[in-house]
Amino acid sequence: MEGNIGPGISMPHPPLAAPGIERGTWTLSDLDRRLHAAQGRLTAGLSLAALWLSFTDWGIHLANSPYRRADLARLAAEQWHRFFAAAAGQSEGPAIAPPPEDHRFSAPAWQQGPFSLFEQAFLLGQEWWGWATTGLPGVSRSHERIVAFTVRQMLDMLSPSNVPWLNPEVIEATVESGGANLREGLANLATDLRQGLTGRGADGGFRVGRDLAVTPGKVVLRNELMELIQYAPATAAVRPEPVLIVPAWIMKYYILDLSPRNSLIAWLVAQGFTVFCISWRNPGSEMAQTTLDDYRRLGVLAAVDAVERITGAARIHACGYCLGGTLLAIAAAAMARDGDGRLATISLLAAQTDFSEAGELQLFINESQLAFLDDVMWAQGYLGSRQMAGAFELLRSNDLVWSRAVKSYLLGQREHPSDLMAWNADATRMPWRMHAEYLRRLFLGNDLAEGRFPVDGRPVAVGDMRGPFFVVGTETDHVAPWRSVFKLHLLNDNDLTFVLTSGGHNAGIVSEPGHPHRHYRRHTRRHGDPYEAPMLWQHRAEVREGSWWPEWAGWLAERSGPPAKPPAMGAPASGLPTLGPAPGSYVFET
């Protein structure tokens, strides 16, 4: 059965009920889905059933392990001994040191009594619960992750750093300012609540089209799913092979076109490349039935066709970032299978093709959670932007939730606004069916890596993609861990240049030349070379200081023809007139 909700957007499966779509007859199952959706509004989309199953699995196995419980009691006794010995000055140094990434207790005042006792007791308790919730034989790995994560969230909430009268920094600031920090904190809280309700002012004063996404260009294609932007040349001659960028649709495309000083797109244009970039639409409930394959057809393939018609180039450098890279891999595999050889090279930036070790987001991916989330999305037709943003914040709650709350609401300090923060506040929605397919087929089933992902009724294989590849992973990526990105080495034997850069999922990619404290590693695996494990590769690859951008530009240039006259903007004679200036209209949808 096929239908559509607009020109070109297909429904290859029988439609399920969603807002704005004709429902037909109601069933009792629909009432269950409504109930789950209402529950989801109270739990931010998290399944209480998944939590219950996880804690039941852990609790039953712990109850049936009396000697494990005895060992935990022994460890607790040892901790108390360490605590009292350190408090009495009978040991060298503290009883426990916080992990390197934990900065809550870095202020010198935390090392003085009685605050050092609060810190030490909390860290020891955190250590003990880490032992209690992990490594218990018989507990499924998925359930163990959920239990450990949930307990960690509860402990983070109870940290003494979050309690005004237990935090020496807050006490000192209150005494010195006569309570002005708390007054400022209340004002900050009121501002944040107002912005959360209205959505206004969260951009820190940065404006798209004025401060962000200002690289000159024209919209040369618009369909119901995306706009294609062609950027104006900045050099007298350009490489004949254009670059097509496929960004993720979780957030707005201009992460790659932030301020002029750190815009990857503007920098690439300045190196003599003709650059095109997709700007995805921000979907509402009317796009609930949009599929992942619609993103491939109306996104990647439509853009490739348009770039070819505008430039006349027979070969295109394709680049995908995050989810856009995964989508590009799917499209490239299908193109290779079908004999379409228009992709000269493929660059994947923090993009996964194997999801067996997909990072901390796997915490939220199991059958119970996906069934619950599917009902939440079914009721509203999409995954809300705050639901996705909230999941990412929970993964790093110390830095993104509690530390920020202490700084803003207890110390009365505001972070200096930045272009990256403004972009991060400009979240998007995701269509119900597309996101459900993405989570089930890729995260849960790993169908792409295992050769089961269907395109046009036939499965595609990552091994069919034709390189060469330029692949970038980032050292501290919580979304697409670099070892997961690295797995393309196992799935495709074409020439592959892998770059591991400092930074996280966003900051590691937005790493312009001249940015301080940046480094990267690079190594090329040639066709036929033996496989190297990630840690061995990391050990052998030479560390280079600076940005990885020049490495990529040089790699593209080596695989491009000599510079020639830039192509015209758009191709009116081919039905692709310019439709307005960049950044287009879809980027402003809220």
Name the CATH superfamily for 217-381+429-588: Alpha/Beta hydrolase fold, catalytic domain (3.40.50.1820)
pLDDT over threshold 90, residue 316: yes
Summarised one tens digit per residue, pLDDT across range 424-440 is 888 889 899 999 999 89
Burial of 517: CB neighbours in 10 Å, binned 0-12, 13-18, 19+: exposed
Calculate mean pLDDT across residues 474-484.
Answer: 93
- Of residues 254, 253, 250, 230, the one with CA closest to residue 242: 230
The radius of gyration of the chain's CA atoms, rounded to the nearest angstrom, is 26
pLDDT over threshold 70, residue 501: yes
Residue 278 parent element (H or E): strand 275-280
CB-CB contact of 301 with 8 (8 Å)? no
Distance in angstroms (rounded) separating the CA atoms of residues 396 and 402: 9
Query: How many Cα atoms within 13 Å fall on the side-chain side of residue 370?
Result: 18
Summarised one tens digit per residue, pLDDT across range 563-589 is 999 999 999 999 999 999 999 999 999
Decide which of 94 and 561 is more confident. Answer: 561
3-state SS track over 332-395: HHHHHHCCCCCEEEEEEECCCCCCCCCCHHHHHCCHHHHHHHHHHHHHHCEECHHHHHHHHHHH
Distance in angstroms (rounded) separating the CA atoms of residues 144 and 311: 53
Residue 528 parent element (H or E): none
Task: Kindly list the domain boundaries of the chain, sorted by start residue.
Answer: 48-151, 217-381+429-588
Residue 5: phi and psi, rounded to 5, are -115, 10
Spot the catalytic one: 208, 322, 465, 556. Answer: 322
Confidence band, pLDDT 50/70/90 cuts, at residue 481: very high
- The percent of residues in the chain predicted with pLDDT above 70, rounded, is 91
Q: Give the pLDDT score at 23.
A: 41
Q: Give the CA angle between residues 323, 510, 562 to the nearest 5°.
A: 90
Q: Structure tokens of 214?
A: 């200002």
pLDDT over threshold 80, residue 194: yes
Calculate mean pLDDT across residues 540-545.
Answer: 92
- Whether residue 583 is preceded by a cis peptide bond, meaning omega within 30 degrees of 0, is yes
Confidence band, pLDDT 50/70/90 cuts, at residue 201: low
CB-CB contact of 320 with 347 (8 Å)? yes
Beta bridge partners of residue 499, listed in sequence order: 472, 522
pLDDT over threshold 70, residue 4: no
Q: Give the pLDDT score at 398.
A: 67
Please give the mean pLDDT across all residues of the chain.
89
Summarised one tens digit per residue, pLDDT across range 48-101 is 888 899 999 999 999 999 999 999 999 999 999 999 998 888 888 888 988 887
Between strands 226-231 and 217-222, the pairing is antiparallel
Confidence band, pLDDT 50/70/90 cuts, at residue 373: confident
pLDDT over threshold 70, residue 262: yes
Q: Give the pLDDT score at 102.
A: 85
Confidence band, pLDDT 50/70/90 cuts, at residue 164: very high
Calculate mean pLDDT across residues 238-249.
Answer: 97
Residue with tokens 């039905």: 575
Confidence band, pLDDT 50/70/90 cuts, at residue 258: very high
Calculate mean pLDDT across residues 544-566.
Answer: 97
Between strands 454-455 and 458-459, the pairing is antiparallel
Confidence band, pLDDT 50/70/90 cuts, at residue 455: very high
Decide which of 361 and 157 is more confident. Answer: 157
- 322 an active-site residue? yes
pLDDT over threshold 90, residue 130: yes
Beta strands in 446-495 (DSSP E): 454-455, 458-459, 469-474
pLDDT over threshold 90, residue 18: no
* Range of lowest pLDDT (332-336, 395-399, 446-450): 395-399
Calculate mean pLDDT across residues 145-168.
Answer: 92
- The percent of residues in the chain predicted with pLDDT above 90, rounded, is 67
Q: Structure tokens of 261?
A: 């000083």
Residue type, 85: A
Q: Structure tokens of 560?
A: 């491009």
* Range of lowest pLDDT (145-149, 224-228, 414-418): 414-418
Contacts of residue 554, defined as CB under 8 A and 6 or more positions apart, other chains included, come to: none
Contacts of residue 541, defined as CB under 8 A and 6 or more positions apart, other chains included, come to: 500, 521, 522, 523
